[in-house]
Amino acid sequence: MGATASGKTALAMGLAERLPVELISVDSALVYRGMDIGSAKPTPAEQALVPHRLIDLRDPSEPYSAADFCRDASAAMAEVTAGGKIPLLVGGTMMYFRALLDGLNALPEADPVVRAEIEAKARQHGWPYIHAWLAQVDPDAAAQIHPNHSQRLGRALEVYLQTGKTMTELRSARPMSSITEHYRVVQLAVAPRERATLHQRIAQRFEQMLVDGVVAEVQALYARGDLSPDLPAVRAVGYRQLWNFCAGQCSLDEAISQAKAATRQLAKRQFTWLRGWREPLHWIYTEAESGRALTKKEIIEQALIHIPYSTV
């Protein structure tokens, strides 16, 4: 796991050359069909070389939750293991990793009616208003959610309105099964040593996305007419900013600048997750201490040190 643009996919594919693994994507954007360029989805050639599970599962109009992921990932891991291989999970959606490791609590299914009521209030008053509302009923959850993080705010308030119990209360109950009950887990965090290097990679990757046609990709999604900015797929970083351009709310240059800034903020949040990670976490650096970029072989060798596989 690691921040966006840190080199996770390259390392995972490199490990697939050395170990009997099958890759399982842990990414909340890659599950959506038709969102290929802006999500940095592995190319068809890369997927032909090293297949990735849990990619292209849903239409962008269909929300996908952490509970959905845990169900699908657990099934995929069981299939991989039954085939005599090692499940290698790769991605940057830290909440999905956390849910797999801790187990999910028995939270209610999403209620479209309740969610629509919350989103109507947000459109009228703004998401900081929803955050203040949540703070009144579940201050612990509100303290952990940014006032503009619409998806998490909406879900936390939705749970309370559905059940009369806060998400904090429900999460304190005994969770469902964790993968640690069935698997020996090795956790690798991929990162450059300097944050400036990551920011440079983010900018370069987005520029390449522009060359590859990400604007046309988002315009096609916008032109469908059945998608809205309230959907998790459209709220994905990069897509949300270009969607605003399609809606005439900003210029393309402004959307590009905002998308790069939002991606840097995403990376910052991902690092925050990793800094507070509880289990043993092995950091795999893509640069030497001198600042020299490491070769693919050197990065793979770092990772293999921590993987207890007898035939490496």
Segments making up each domain of the chain, as ranges: 8-104+178-304, 112-171
pLDDT in tens, 198-223: 999 999 999 999 999 999 999 999 99
Q: What CA–CA distance (Å, rounded) separates 164 from 90?
A: 36
- What does R_g of the chain's alpha carbons equal in angstroms? 20
| Residue 105: band (very low, low, confident or very high) from pLDDT cuts 50, 70, 90 | low
pLDDT in tens, 137-195: 999 989 988 888 888 899 899 988 988 888 888 777 655 668 888 899 999 999 999 99
Tell me the average pLDDT across 299-306. 96
With residue 189 as reference, give the H or E element that holds it.
strand 188-191
With 50 as the cut, is the pLDDT of residue 109 above it? yes
User: What's the pLDDT at 165?
Assistant: 84
Q: What CA–CA distance (Å, rounded) separates 77 from 26?
A: 12
CATH code assigned to 8-104+178-304: 3.40.50.300
Tell me the average pLDDT across 254-269. 96
Burial of 295 (0-12, 13-18, 19+ CB in 10 A): exposed
CA angle in degrees (0–180, nearest 5) for 217-235-212:
25
pLDDT in tens, 273-300: 999 998 889 999 999 999 999 999 999 9
User: What's the pLDDT at 312?
Assistant: 46
Q: Phi, psi (5° rounding) for residue 197? A: -65, -40
CATH architecture of 112-171: Orthogonal Bundle (1.10)
**Among 117, 175, 125, 127, which Cα is nearest to 151's?**
127
